[in-house]
C-alpha cells in the first residue's frame, strides 16, 4: 500500500474519531424560544429546565413573567420569576446560577416587550 493511501486512511479515521463526540455534545446545548410578544399558555412543556430569560423593551417599562402552570390565568400572582426593562429599546437578560424546573409547563405573561426563554437539558 502506498504511503498516500495510508495517510488518507489515517486522516479519515481521525476525522471520524472527532466527529462523533461533537455530534453528541451538540444535542445537549441550550435552546431558546422564538420571540414571545404576547402572553401565552404552555409556551414550553412540563418538565422544562429554564436557564435564563431575556426581554427587549419595545416600549417603556416592558415586563415579562414566567409561571409554572398550564395557563397564565390560573397562576396570576404566583410567578416563578420576572424580568423588566424600563428603557425603551434596551435589553435585559437574567441567567440563573441553577436552572429553574417547571413541573407543569412554562406559561408567560407579557405586558409589553419581546421575551425569550433559554431552556435545555437537566443540569448534571
Distance, in Å, from the CA atom of 106 to the CA atom of 122, rounded to the nearest integer, reads: 15
| Amino acid 55: pLDDT | 92
Question: What are the cell numbers at 107?
Answer: 406559561
Distance, in Å, from the CA atom of 39 to the CA atom of 108, rounded to the nearest integer, reads: 5
| Amino acid 21: pLDDT | 46
| Amino acid 36: pLDDT | 92
| Amino acid 24: pLDDT | 46
Exposed/middle/buried for residue 90 (C-beta within 10 Å: 0-12, 13-18, 19+): exposed
| Amino acid 33: pLDDT | 92
User: Topology of domain 31-120, per CATH?
Assistant: Jelly Rolls (2.60.120)
Distance, in Å, from the CA atom of 62 to the CA atom of 38, rounded to the nearest integer, reads: 12
* Regions of the chain where pLDDT drops below 70: 1, 4-28, 74-77
Distance, in Å, from the CA atom of 50 to the CA atom of 30, rounded to the nearest integer, reads: 9
Distance, in Å, from the CA atom of 119 to the CA atom of 50, rounded to the nearest integer, reads: 4
| Amino acid 82: pLDDT | 83
Amino acid at each position: 500500500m502506498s504511503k498516500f493511501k495510508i495517510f488518507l486512511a489515517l486522516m479519515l479515521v481521525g476525522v471520524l474519531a472527532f466527529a462523533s463526540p461533537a455530534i453528541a455534545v451538540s444535542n445537549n446545548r441550550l435552546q431558546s424560544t422564538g420571540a414571545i410578544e404576547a402572553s401565552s399558555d404552555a409556551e414550553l412543556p412540563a418538565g422544562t429546565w429554564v436557564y435564563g430569560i431575556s426581554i427587549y423593551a419595545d416600549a417603556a417599562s416592558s415586563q415579562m413573567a414566567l409561571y409554572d402552570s398550564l395557563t397564565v390565568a390560573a397562576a396570576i400572582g404566583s410567578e416563578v420569576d420576572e424580568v423588566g426593562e424600563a428603557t425603551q429599546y434596551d435589553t435585559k437578560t437574567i441567567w440563573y446560577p441553577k436552572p429553574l424546573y417547571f413541573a407543569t409547563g412554562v406559561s408567560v405573561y407579557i405586558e409589553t416587550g419581546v421575551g425569550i426563554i433559554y431552556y435545555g437539558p437537566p443540569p448534571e
